[in-house]
Amino acid sequence: MSADPAPRGRLPAAARADRRDAILDAAEALLAEAGYAQTTMAEIARRAGASKGTLNGWFGGREGLLAAVMERNADRAAARVAEALEAGGPPRAVLTGFAEGLLGLLTGPSSVALNRAAMGTPELAALLLASGRYRIGPLVERYLARLAGDGMLVLDDAGEAFAVLYGLVIRDTQIRVLLGEPQPGPAARRRQAEAAVEAFLTLHGNGRTTARGGG
């Protein structure tokens, strides 16, 4: 990918940002390919064409580097979820789009690698929880509450409703992939997302505006 030889001397601000991203890319890719234990500072440096000294200087050690990878990933994930929820259109379609995206996200190589890494380091685990679950959850809960306010859903507690939706969508898929099963393909994810939303609307829909095939 970046076959450019790594620059040597001082870097201007813009180039520095690119370079930082390239280092995070290398770390993320290595993490996904080789796992947490094999993701050594030396190997990250080699792939990024950087030196261990620079890595330590920029990120403050291995944990800081992985934390940076995690935060970048969480930012992207949150953006994707927000986009799916703000897509507009009938609730069934919006929810299915969200569900499909979430399922693909949580079982994707990067998320899987980062979750595995987090299991071995309490600090990283806390960061993953804060920058992932606790950012995405409220987004969805707000959307569900809005639907309820518009009379399109029936629910007491948006948090509880999100938990149910999450369970219906993810089932045991994430933990199985974390334990080594291959990620379900796009078609399977689509089916699973549709089934989940169907069940969710059976439980929480008002039976009219959210009816299947209805506008």
Q: What SS3 string covers the chain?
A: CCCCCCCCCCCCHHHHHHHHHHHHHHHHHHHHHHCCCCCCHHHHHHHHCCCHHHHHHHHCCHHHHHHHHHHHHHHHHHHHHHHHHCCCCCHHHHHHHHHHHHHHHHCCHHHHHHHHHHHCCHHHHHHHHHHHHHHHHHHHHHHHHHHHHCCCECCCCHHHHHHHHHHHHHCCHHHHHHCCCCCCCHHHHHHHHHHHHHHHHHHHECCCCCCCCCC
Using the contact rule CB under 7 A, the part of the chain among 10-18, 105-113, 144-152, 201-209 near DNA is 10-18
Using the contact rule CB under 8 A, the part of the chain among 9-17, 69-77, 92-100, 191-199 near a second copy is 191-199
Longest distance between any two alpha carbons in the chain, whole Å: 65
Is there binding between residue 174 and a second copy (CB under 8 A)?
yes
Using the contact rule CB under 7 A, the part of the chain among 1-9, 129-137, 146-154, 164-172 near DNA is 1-9
- 15's contact among DNA, a second copy, none, with CB below 5 to 8 A by partner kind, is DNA
Is there binding between residue 182 and a second copy (CB under 8 A)?
no
Least distance to a second copy, CB of residue 126, Å = 6
Is there binding between residue 211 and a second copy (CB under 8 A)?
no
Is there binding between residue 193 and a second copy (CB under 8 A)?
no
Least distance to a second copy, CB of residue 22, Å = 27
Which residue in the block uniquely carries the two structure tokens 């580097």?
A: 65
Is there binding between residue 201 and a second copy (CB under 8 A)?
no
d(CA 148, CA 165): 14
Is there binding between residue 181 and a second copy (CB under 8 A)?
yes
Binding site for DNA (CB under 7 A): 6-12, 15-16, 19, 38-42, 45, 48-54, 56-58, 61-63
Binding site for a second copy (CB under 8 A): 35-37, 115-116, 118-120, 122, 125-126, 128-129, 133, 160, 163-164, 166-172, 174-176, 178-181, 195-196, 199, 202-203
